[in-house]
Amino acid sequence: MVSFIIPSHGQLYIEYESVNSAEEIQSITKTLVLPPLNGTEVVINYQQGNNMTRGVLIQYEGEFVPFAKQPPPKSYLIWEILGPALVIVLIGLILFSCYYYRVRQKEKQLNFIIEVMKDQKRFSPEEIEELKEKRDEFTIIKKNLKIYYEFPLGQGASSLVYVGFIYGKSPLMVTTGLIETQRFQDCKVAVKVPSSFGQDETKQLFREIDSMKKIGYNENVICMLGICFLDEKPVIAFELADKNLLSYVRTLRETILGQIQTPVNIFFSILWQIARGMQYISSKNIVHRDLAARNVLLTDSFNAKISDFGLSFCTDLEENSSSSTPQKLPVKWLSLEALLDMVFSEKSDVWAFGVLIFEVFSFGAIPYKDVVLKDLVEMLRNGDRLECPKAANEKTYEIMRSCWQENPEERPTFEQLSERFREMLKSTTMAYGYVEGSK
């Protein structure tokens, strides 16, 4: 028995074995003329007399047509083409629906504050649009941020700060992709919650968001991890620090009086880090306008981080350095040109840095404590400056004085200040990193 496929028609030569009466096996070749079978599988049995034969195909002559399966029905071909296309369309619809849902949720979350703006009639359409534009890749999904209102961290003029927790990856980690930001996932955070939404407070919120986006990540700046809308209010999540510089140096006051020693190596390290952070901020064309010891945060390992950018502005986004001046400014930290003409620049931040140095070495003393504010400008114009703290040496006070030059161009840059404190830090070892304080 032979089974084979006939691709067309022609002559088929079969060789088979036959057993004769003497039980001898003979090899016989037989030619079959076949009708057109057109690719049909056939089984041919050969029988000679009473003996069955076993045959094998040895040759086929005729028109050769390669064997192929029967073509599928047209309906099958249509689905074979349309099927993948429909799957792609379905996936696209699902993705679009998810995106549309998220956009609608964000729109819904902003309705409250936008309606407040419209009702108060104190905001232009441009300002309302500005708030909408703050929703971008820095937005935190509501379910991914939890605020622990029972654990407040601090309070400002227009906001409260609480301990919070981010679930999953923070927007800063996703947008930067830096190794240094990998820790900002499933972590504790500081959440800044505005307590009022007046015109000044809203603009202050805009400034802070704009500045923090531009800064991104820097080891000496408190980083914004994302923005979220909770209970119809925009809140900002920041990396969490342990304490602020002002409270730290004030806690040293009693210790220093007891030990009569000042940890200048720690002070120099902190000031060097602040200068480096301000150098980076200035390179981004940002003026802080509120640099003070209260706005510098510290980790347990004394990493200094500059915070609170509510009064900051971007020089490349403002028409000039005196535009958009807020109503409330830290008068005792302002430079002379800022007090007189409301002109702000890197050099006005340098002036404030000099006051910050005074705060550190005076263990948190209030600058110009006995000076009436209305007399401050005249005092500064006459060349009077803060006195040298008892814990500061001459070199440190020289740096302070250089920051308070009346002409902004004569003040050092933050790059120069960073280098000076780096050299002072190098010369101060742990063994000799103390100087005598006041008794």
Q: Kindly report the backbone phi and psi dihedral angles of residue 335, in degrees, each rounded to the nearest multiple of 5, phi listed first.
A: -75, 170
Q: How far apart are the first and last CA of the chain?
A: 119
Q: What separation in angstroms does the CA of 418 have from each of 268, 374, 414, 421, 424?
A: 10, 33, 6, 5, 10
From the candidates 210, 290, 308, 349, which is the catalytic residue?
290
Paired tokens of 170: 């923070």
Please list, in sequence order, all residues whose beta carbon lies within 8 angstroms of the beta carbon of residue 26, skipping any fewer than 6 positions away: 17, 18, 19, 20
Least Cα distance to 421 among 390, 400, 436, 391 occurs for: 400
Q: Is 290 a catalytic residue?
A: yes
Task: Look at the alpha carbons of 56, 58, 63, 69 in this order and tell me if their dihedral is positive or negative.
Answer: positive
Please list, in sequence order, all residues whose beta carbon lies within 8 angstroms of the beta carbon of residue 415, skipping any fewer than 6 positions away: 279
Q: What is the CA radius of gyration of the chain?
A: 41
Residues of the chain by 3-state class (helix, strand, coil), percent to 5: 40, 25, 35
Q: What separation in angstroms does the CA of 388 have from each of 19, 143, 221, 439?
A: 127, 52, 28, 16
What whole-number distance in Å separates Cα of residue 38 and Cα of residue 54? Answer: 25
Beta-bridge partners for 44: 2
Active site residues: 290
